[in-house]
Amino acid sequence: MRLSQLVGPRTSKVVSLSDPVPAADQVLVEVLACGVCTSDLSAWRRHDPGAEPMRLGHEIAGRVAAVGAQATRWAVGDLVTGLGGEGFAELAVMDATAVLPIPAGISPAHALGEPVAVLEEALSRSPSAVGLRVAVVGLGFMGLGLVQLVKRHAPALLIGVDPDPSRRERALSLGLDAAVAPDALDGYLGDGRMDLVLEATGVTPGLATAGSLVRPFGTLNVIGYHHAGEAKMDMDLWYKGVTVVNGFCPDRTRTVAAMVTALDLIAQRRFSYAPLVTHRYTLDQVDEAFEAMEAAGPDFVKGVLVS
């Protein structure tokens, strides 16, 4: 099989390897789509060329090519998505208990289970949005996904916050009541603040904006990936009695359970990747995919490798 691996800063190389063999409790998946995730951007930028090559790609969807002896739930040809790794490849081994069927009629590139499961799991640890004033701070891929997931809970008000006008416009098309630039928030909200704020920026200024929006005794859910080491948090939050939720989930069982819900929403057409997957690449274009993510042009939301 062919596999793309990271060999140096901003440098990937496609190599030929023997086809992997699934263990008894695993399945071998022909990768039809694999999302390019912001959480891997730091590794792509900084990989030490003297270290072992790094194999990225954890947002996998594909077709079962072989099954282990104990993976009796699955059959060759089944379309699946789930939790795995080394997905920038033609084939990937995945635990049979961590994959789920792709909903009928949905293309693999629009059925990536892991990203939407991560968002759904994080959201499940916030108060129900029913009747609440909710803000999503950061309207990139994660923020736009959260807009769709929150909308189904009928919040009293759902606003998005982002400095980029193209992102705000795109988010409005997904059902926001309003999309506001950070420097216009005081004029829009006045003295009012939000019951629930979902931070999806991954940067300290975005976290500060999110914290400023929460009302006393409200909830801030930090869902963005903060990779810069230490991140500053406004201590005034603690004097407002704010509940801060860490949106990261370290438990695979919880993430798979959230994926069941997320894929059901996709099957019901209540969540869609169609407006989110804006760029498609081949296995030979991994570096181009990361470059486009880094550039964050006005037409870019999400890149996916497809075969």
Out of 6-10, 13-17, 134-138, 224-228, least confident range: 224-228
User: Does residue 242 fall inside a structural domain?
Assistant: yes
> Tell me, what CATH number does 231's domain have?
3.40.50.720
Q: Looking at the DSSP assignment, which residues form a beta bridge with residue 305?
A: 34, 281
The pLDDT tens digits of the residues spanning 257-297 come to 999 999 999 999 999 999 999 999 999 999 999 999 999 99
Tell me the average pLDDT across 196-215.
Answer: 94
What's residue 226's pLDDT? 82
Task: Assign 237 a pLDDT band (cuts: 50, 70, 90).
Answer: confident
What is the total count of domains within the chain?
2
> pLDDT: is 186 or 198 the higher one?
198
Residue 121 lies in a domain: no
How much is the pLDDT for 285?
A: 99
Q: Dump pLDDT digits (tens) for 137-160.
A: 999 999 999 999 999 999 999 999
Q: Quick check: 228 pLDDT over 70?
A: no
Read off the pTM: 0.95
Range(s) of the domain holding residue 107: 2-116+251-306
What's the CATH code of the domain at 40? 3.90.180.10
Residues 160 and 55 in one domain: no
* Same domain (yes/no): 264, 201: no
Beta bridge partners of 279: 303
Q: What pLDDT score was predicted for residue 191?
A: 79
Encode pLDDT of 64-120 as tens digits.
999 999 999 999 999 999 999 999 999 999 999 999 999 999 999 999 999 999 999
Same domain, 162 and 238: yes
Q: Are strands 214-222 and 243-246 parallel, antiparallel or unpaired?
A: parallel
Nearest-angstrom CA–CA distance, 198 and 207? 10
Are the CB atoms for 48 and 18 separated by under 8 Å? no
Domain boundary among 199, 229, 246: 246
Same domain, 81 and 16: yes
Q: 220 and 270: one domain? A: no
Residues 119-157: b if buried by 16+ CB within 10 A, e if exposed: bbbbbeebeebeebbbbbbbbbbbbbbbbbbbbeeebeb
Find all residues with CB under 8 Å of 294, minimum gap 6, and list them.
41, 45
What values do phi and psi take at 3, rounded to 5? -145, 140
Asked whether residue 141 falls in the same domain as residue 202, the answer is: yes
